[in-house]
Chain A
Amino acid sequence: MTTLPLTFLALAFGAEPTALDALKAYDALMAPPHFKAVTKMTAHRDDGSTREYRMTVLKGEGDKSRIWFSEPAAVRGQEMLRNGENLWVYMPNLKRALRLASRESFQGGDFNNADIMRADYAADYDATLEVDPSSPDTWLLKLKAKTKDASYDSIKLWVQKAPLGMPVKGEYFTASGKLLRSAKFSEVKDFGHGATRPSLITMRNELATQRFSELVFDSLDVTAPAPDSKFALADLGR
């Protein structure tokens, strides 16, 4: 826990960050140790119509997160739980939880489950840091999956030099090198208690370019309690 402040101190004196510094800074901004957020996802489809989902996200220490869906009515009561590599969905119409694969599409939108429920890129990817001449205020992080269980085989992530790690855009690739999705991070917002991050993530499906999904953070509370009991499989549906 002491390495990150020391890194920031070094950076303040002009030292160039390492790729891992930049990646950890991104993880710290996008996934604080624990938080509770109220979000809305809007999926824009090929025909121009939209589908909206409202949910509450609770992130706990480590790689734990849980989502409660409140809208639309067809998915109200549905929940998702992530604990490390394990992902479950609670289905109210089945009255039980089922295991899910991380790469499955999140509610049919253009995010996948891991995009929403896991942001520990430093654990999942090896990173190299490059300069992108076309974007002098950013670093280009090139990420390569450490294991085949990672959501994407490789990622290009543009993050601001200051504040370090603040994401600007991302590109997500398959193992064959095909561009699968691209993301734009915008509308940086101060949510209080030091939590300043983009409040809007626009994820575009590059295989069907008319499709994209927007994830808006209405609130983000980094002081909300996230006890371990909320991340127990037995707690789903309560």
Chain B
Amino acid sequence: MSANSLKFGLAAALAILSAPIASAQDALSPDEMAALCHGGGSICVSATIPVSRTTQAVQSWMSPDVGAAWAAGYKGKGVTITMVDDFSSTSRFSGNFGIGVQTQRHGEWTREEASMIAPSATIRSKDFSTGSYVPLAGGLNVLNLSYGMYTTAGYSVNQIGWAPEEASIISYATKGSAIVSKAAGNDAVAVGAAINGQQDYLDLALIGKSTAIFAGALSTNGTTTNKAQLAWYSDYAGSNTQVQSHFLVVGVEGDKTGLYGTSFAAPIISGYAAIIGSKFTKATPVQITNDLLNTARTDTLANYDPSIYGKGEASLSRALAPVAIH
């Protein structure tokens, strides 16, 4: 590879990380939210999302941990989750998060999922096709990346000429100014590995960054009596200890929702981070990232191995609990 730098052609390089089982369907008409997301600004506030049906309900696809942790109190209040995703294409597919079958764009699905995990969080939508800079909101910020940036394998990360969008995201993860929840990928390879001559350079760029979390998918939510396994499609942590130490897994129960892929793991991590941030209002993104990573469970996973599961299955209740109390 001789090029000194590589500018991503966004139309070709953006790859949403829902597994192939989630079938794309043609859109009938753009919804109101999508219309707001078009144009140069590309940040859309979720005020127009009809979320009333989705709030405050624990769904069967969620970890039992969520139900256990949801008590009276905050559920992401004061935290902003920015979903960097597809909010403008004509590609839509069907699924059901427990509130009825819907046909939506990829970003609308991931946004809905995050809002169901952290119903009090402010959810913003950033259409990734614009490539424009991602601004942060006041307070704690969580960025959800349920997509990858693929191109020919063999470049080094510093050869990539990032668009302002990814450059800002990578910068936030490097400086620790926002938590970045990144879908690990659906090629059943180690994070950062090439597949069919292609590589996710966004994964590579986030390795070793203090507030980056790679989200892998389990086929079910794990319990100590019914241990979970990595979903067949999910990328795994691999042998790189920098990835292992920032890799979490969560259940993506596609058999209940019709939605598969690590695209739907990342919003769960984003929602957890928002809930933790709403409890520890003075905590930094680095502290919250470490809290999630350090409290992950390994006893709910079948044959736990850090090269597969990284730090383990994210546990909201343990992340909220004290280390010690007296």
Q: Are A and B a genuine interacting pair, yes or no?
A: no
Task: Mark A residues whose CB is within 8 Å of B.
Answer: none
Residue positions of B touching A, CB distance < 8 A: none
